[in-house]
Structure 1
Amino acid sequence: MSSESRSLLGTGRPSTSPRVWSALLGAAHPGPALAVTLLAAAFAVSTGLAPGRAALVTAAVLTGQLSIGWGNDLLDARRDRAVGRTDKPLATGELPLPVARFACAGAIAATVVLSLACGLVAGAVHLGCVAAAWAYNLGIKATAWSWLPYALAFGGLPVFVTLAAPGSGAPSWWIVAAGALLGVGAHLLNTLPDLADDEATGVRGLPHRIGARAASVLAVAALTTASVVVAVGARQVPRPVVALVLVAVVALAGLALVARGRVPFRAAIGIAVLDVLLLVVAAG
């Protein structure tokens, strides 16, 4: 572990100024954090969790995502400075390291408390999901197994939400499988914009090893397979709705495979959105 990661949490409470708050938000990877949190919230509501329990689940996921985002930027601060990442507040100096360390430590503590408040088993599952994401940040992202933490975390998320309901069992296998496939697709799509910067600093995960074009195709394949898995498993969803979604997915997949530029990326995002909607509806 690097000296940067060893000093991740730091000591003492740092002071902040008003302008630091926007930088702190930017370092939390707000887009992915919000997307995963909203997915958990929607899944919690669709599965019939009581409002208080659904809010608790959502809060646990949010703090976990914040810790992952801040931890990522703390661990990557030197790499981001080396490649001139002006979109990274820690790399530009806009966000002081002590502030980020304090926020990250607080998010980790809150995640533990909130997760276990959802139940010991459910909490352990969620903490396992967060640990998988941290393992990615700490080095797995630079290996051919970079997809695995995403698969485990996204596959475990519906398990956590379902088990948070008192007396509830684990979700159906197809929900977990679809979540894992969605995670693999999310990893590939999330990595594509940063392939060059990652390569320049020695990070070579699966997408870097197979190349941008192959990674795009694999992302489309994973997301399309997730659609099929949900369509097969979600027998309670009206068949016309499932058929309509699958037609849209096939159309987007075809577009992603033949188009160039940013179109394949946007088409894959479209498939991911349809997967999430279908998964949430199917869980109800």
Structure 2
Amino acid sequence: MIDVPSGAPRYVAGARALALSTHPGPTVAVTTVATLLALVADVPAGRTALLCAAVLAGQASIGWSNDWLDAERDRAVARSDKPVVQGAVTPAGLRRAALLAAATAVVLSLLLGIVPGLLLLLLVASGWAYNAGLKRTVWSGAGYVVGFGALPAGVVTAAPGDPAVPWWLVAAGAMLGGAAHLANVAPDLEDDLATGVRGLPHRLGPRLSAATSALLLAAASLVLVLAPPGDPTATGWAALALAVPAAAVAALSGTAARFRRLAFPAVMLLTVLDVALLLGGGATVA
């Protein structure tokens, strides 16, 4: 529930409801990953700040559009964790916020240049497509795979000197995106089915979805450690070691309900840590 002191102005409650409706965990994680990648790719400080703002606006627009478009579904299954179900924010308010944030993301992204801008906006478009109906199809994972693969490409091409985008970075991003999709849907499989949503995880079932998510996590970590030029570093091996508990949580989410809500945070945390270790290990991606 949204707990605001009784004497606080109404706009404070509204602002907090809007903040919670951005899906702050994934929004902060994706923005952090993009910012850390920009540091690895030697993107200048000013452009890194612009890139961070562009990604943040895009992710906020995805979160708001999700809660706007899913308002009736969330009410039908009594999703009391959703501010729109609590009545703290209206679907119309979320729609306005989502459209404004999307427009902001377009402007900020294109200020980085046509190529990096379009690649970063591909992530935003993928998220909106997922919310608008892709989630109901067998292609539900495509938005995550395409969007997470495009993100590192957009970051690298924002660096000066027209750098080439490493294939392994795009591949790892796409695999982490696929794992994130399967893990994100895991806690809501029953509610989704009750409201007519039948994407890829629902068709695979909880056990196969969990196993696939764990395999994608492991594969992404192996690619990040073994594919870059040169011998793996100590930080690379550390990243691989961190993948083991995250993959275990993802795998267990298919057999134990208590692990389902841990799977997606585990994927996002592993992604942030992988990129942080790339930075700490002196890796270069541009």
Shorter-chain TM-score bucket reads 0.7 to 0.9
Q: 1:201 to 1:154 in 2, by over 3 A?
A: same
- Aligned-partner SS, 1:28: coil
Q: 1:212 to 1:37 in 2, by over 3 A?
A: same
Q: CA RMSD in A?
A: 2.3
- For 1:17, the equivalent position in structure 2 comes to 11
Q: Distance in 2 between matches of 1:267 and 1:193?
A: 9
Kept after mapping to 2: 8 A contact 1:74/1:97: yes
Deviation digits for residues 119-167 of structure 1 (CA, Å, limit 9, x no counterpart): 0111111112211111111111111111111000000001111111233
Q: Distance in 2 between matches of 1:163 and 1:267?
A: 31
Within a 5 Å distance, the mapping from 1:182-261 to structure 2 comes to: 182-236=176-230, 238-250=232-244, 253=247, 257=251, 260-261=256-257
Kept after mapping to 1: 8 A contact 2:137/2:198: yes
- For 1:262, the equivalent position in structure 2 comes to 258
Q: Aligned to 1:277, which of 265, 273, 284? A: 273
- For 1:42, the equivalent position in structure 2 comes to 36
- For 1:153, the equivalent position in structure 2 comes to 147
Shift of 1:169: 2.5
- For 1:67, the equivalent position in structure 2 comes to 61
Q: Aligned AA for 1:164?
A: A
- For 1:120, the equivalent position in structure 2 comes to 114
Deviation digits for residues 207-264 of structure 1 (CA, Å, limit 9, x no counterpart): 1111112111111000100011112212357433333433443465457647744347
Shift of 1:92: 2.6
TM-score (norm 1): 0.86
Kept after mapping to 2: 8 A contact 1:151/1:180: yes
Q: Distance in 2 between matches of 1:243 and 1:50?
A: 28
Shift of 1:26: 1.2
- For 1:133, the equivalent position in structure 2 comes to 127
Gaps of 5+ in 1: 1-15
Kept after mapping to 2: 8 A contact 1:252/1:268: no
Q: 1:183 to 1:267 in 2, by over 3 A?
A: closer
Q: Aligned AA for 1:49?
A: V
Q: Aligned AA for 1:277?
A: L
Q: Aligned to 1:82, which of 76, 82, 98? A: 76
Kept after mapping to 2: 8 A contact 1:223/1:268: no
- For 1:105, the equivalent position in structure 2 comes to 99
Q: Distance in 2 between matches of 1:97 and 1:257?
A: 35
Q: 1:26 to 1:122 in 2, by over 3 A?
A: same
Q: Aligned AA for 2:56?
A: L
Shift of 1:97: 2.9
Deviation digits for residues 69-104 of structure 1 (CA, Å, limit 9, x no counterpart): 101111111111111111111223210233222211
- For 1:8, the equivalent position in structure 2 comes to none
Shift of 1:266: 4.2
- Aligned-partner SS, 2:159: coil
Q: Distance in 2 between matches of 1:139 and 1:85?
A: 19
Q: Distance in 2 between matches of 1:215 and 1:99?
A: 34
Gaps of 5+ in 2: 1-9
Kept after mapping to 2: 8 A contact 1:228/1:246: yes
- For 1:94, the equivalent position in structure 2 comes to 88
Aligned-residue sequence identity (percent) comes to 45
TM-score (norm 2): 0.86
1:142 aligns with 2:136: yes
Shift of 1:45: 1.3
How many residues align structurally?
Answer: 269
- For 1:175, the equivalent position in structure 2 comes to 169
